[in-house]
Amino acid sequence: MRKTHGILIHMKKLLCIFAHPDDESFGPGGTLALWAKQGVDIYLLCATKGELGNNGTGRKTEEIREEELHAAAKILGIGKVEFLGYFDGKICNHEVVRLQKELMKQINKIKPDALMTFDLNGASGHIDHVSVASATTYAFHKTSSPKELYYFTYLKSYTDQVADYFIHFPEGKKSEAVDEIVNIEDVWEKKLAAMHAHQSQIQDVKQILKILNNLPKEECFLVRRK
């Protein structure tokens, strides 16, 4: 395990692949802000528009969440966001195979040095996260440009504090089991702003911050290299 402030001069282009608008901010938002500040070109592919998320207005949830993701991406310094057109909660069976092919196509087009997705347990355990992590892993091994794969994961100190959730939340890792811990103190305000850009998910933002506010300002990754 190594602790860094995100000095990764070898990385020029990072492609993040997540499932829902908010995954990028609620998960590795601090790291993305830090690396963007250091000149890494960051792309984000978001599999769904989070159609099943809360809304509370008369507007279509997917429209609101699309706008929210673009706002959050701007705050974090993510240069390009693209939606892949899958439906929230439905990335399973043959959809995963379709996603693998789509990701390979995107990787061959964008040619990133590194990929980022969720831990293979889905980090928060959501089935869309598990599917996206699995398809990203497949695409990582079947393409040549990305040499590193970052899996965003939680520490046990976080997951021990997660209250009842609508899905099973897997137990986080012990710090000695993760490969990289990124110190995000310098960009904490940016992470907060990006999280709050997802206003339709404000209840989740509050729940997450209740825990994050009392923990070290760090984000954790498992890293696989070719």
Binding site for Zn ion (CB under 5 A): 19-20, 23
- Burial letters 120-140, b for 16+ CB under 10 A, else e: bbbbbbbebbbbbbbbbbbbb
CB of 122 to Zn ion, least distance (A): 9
Residue 23 or 148 with smaller CB distance to Zn ion: 23
Residue 27 or 146 with smaller CB distance to Zn ion: 27
Residue 23 or 102 with smaller CB distance to Zn ion: 23
Residue 131 or 183 with smaller CB distance to Zn ion: 131
Query: In 89-223, which residue ranges form alpha helices assigned H by DSSP?
Result: 94-110, 127-142, 156-159, 188-197, 202-212
3-state helix/strand/coil string of 18-56: ECCCCHHHHCCHHHHHHHHHCCCEEEEEEEECCCCCCCC
Tell me which amino acid residue 41 is: D
CB of 27 to Zn ion, least distance (A): 8
CB of 65 to Zn ion, least distance (A): 11
Name the residue whose CB lies closest to Zn ion.
Answer: 20
Residue 153 or 183 with smaller CB distance to Zn ion: 153
> What's the Cα-to-Cα distance from 180 to each of 17, 128, 219, 221, 222, rounded to whole Å?
19, 24, 8, 5, 6
Q: Is 68 in contact with 199 (CB distance < 8 Å)? A: yes
CB of 121 to Zn ion, least distance (A): 13
CB of 20 to Zn ion, least distance (A): 4
d(CA 103, CA 201): 27
Residue 11 or 91 with smaller CB distance to Zn ion: 91
CB of 186 to Zn ion, least distance (A): 26
Tell me which amino acid residue 24 is: E
Q: How many Cα atoms sit within 13 Å of 64 on the Cβ side? A: 18
